[in-house]
Amino acid sequence: MKNNWTLPLFSWVLSTVILEILAITNLHTLPSSGSKQAVVIDEAFFLLIYICIPIFTLITVFLIYSVFKFRSKGRPDEDGPHVTNSRNLSYVWVIGSFILVAFVFVHPGVTGVLELRAEEKRVPDVVIQAEAQKWSWKIMYLEEGVYSRNEVVLPAYYNTKFYVTSKDVLHAFWIPAFRVKIDAVPGMTTHVNATPTKLGNFDEDVNYRLQCAELCGIGHAQMSIPVRVLSENDYKTWLTNQKPLR
């Protein structure tokens, strides 16, 4: 009965290698990456994919192999062996899955959280309050004392802290190119950081948009404004042309 194992184990290794190579070379499902936070999140995403592939192939290969190898033609006329358990296999399985969980929890789990928090703990270079309201955004540049309603403009390479508030119902602040997301909750101020790593704008890349990501009623889908990342000088010029707060 030993030879039952050779073919599936070989297929497992082979299919894992093939899928890993395909994933490393061909997987481009994430939007364009435009911030430091996006780098952390994307790394975690791809690492999880690479970890999941061998688990996926292990179970799929053994499932498909068993179905073909052990199938009867029509109604089986005899029973399979009376095997009710295998203590060793159970130990290996449970301990193995525990090790995997522990690994994934530490990295990318905890490490990812800590990397994102390190960026949040830095003193921000730019402080912006994003106020959500059915169904529009008000982007307030607190230190400069100006605001904008029809777009978010940021300087490249600077750590920007967004304080997010809501005037009515739940909304969520999401910029796909930066990957960052936080809910806007009435009565609370939530916050999120984004550090753009390159210039970019909505006209060239739709992922440069501030999109509401929490269902907020009829206008939810359209509660989206463009995001533009400028060089420092262009940003300063832009600021001088904005309406003052109050």
Residue 170's contacts (CB-CB under 8 Å, 6 or more residues apart) are 183, 184, 185, 186, 214, 215, 216
> Which residue lies nearer to other proteins by CB, 46 or 157?
46
Residues 95-134 that bind other proteins (CB under 8 A): 97-98, 101, 104-105, 108-110, 112-113, 115-117
144: DSSP letter: T
Q: Which two tokens stand for residue 42?
A: 């994307």
Rounded least distance, CB 239 to other proteins, Å: 28
* Interatomic CA distance for residues 242 and 144, integer angstroms: 10
Angle at 23 between CA 20 and CA 28, to 5 degrees: 170
Residues 165-224 that bind other proteins (CB under 8 A): 168-170, 172, 174, 176, 179-183, 185-188, 190, 206-207, 209, 211, 213-222
- Axis crossing angle, helix 36-69 with helix 87-104, rounded to the nearest 10: 160
Per DSSP, the three-state class of 116 is helix
Q: Kindly tell me the burial class for residue 212, based on how many C-beta atoms sit within 10 Å of its own C-beta (0-12, 13-18, 19 or more).
A: buried
Per DSSP, the three-state class of 205 is coil
> Which residue lies nearer to other proteins by CB, 136 or 242?
136
Rounded least distance, CB 21 to other proteins, Å: 19
> Which residue lies nearer to other proteins by CB, 4 or 231?
4
Residues 26-55 that bind other proteins (CB under 8 A): 29-31, 37-38, 40-41, 44-45, 48, 51-52, 55
Per DSSP, the three-state class of 193 is strand
> Which residue lies nearer to other proteins by CB, 57 or 148?
57
Rounded least distance, CB 218 to other proteins, Å: 5
Rounded least distance, CB 140 to other proteins, Å: 18
CB 12 within 8 A of CB 87: no
Confirm or reject binding of residue 10 to other proteins (CB under 8 A).
no
Rounded least distance, CB 70 to other proteins, Å: 5
- # binding residues, other proteins (CB under 8 A): 85
Residues 136-155 that bind other proteins (CB under 8 A): none
Residues 64-93 that bind other proteins (CB under 8 A): 66-67, 70-72, 74-76, 78-86, 89-90, 93
* Interatomic CA distance for residues 186 and 219, integer angstroms: 18
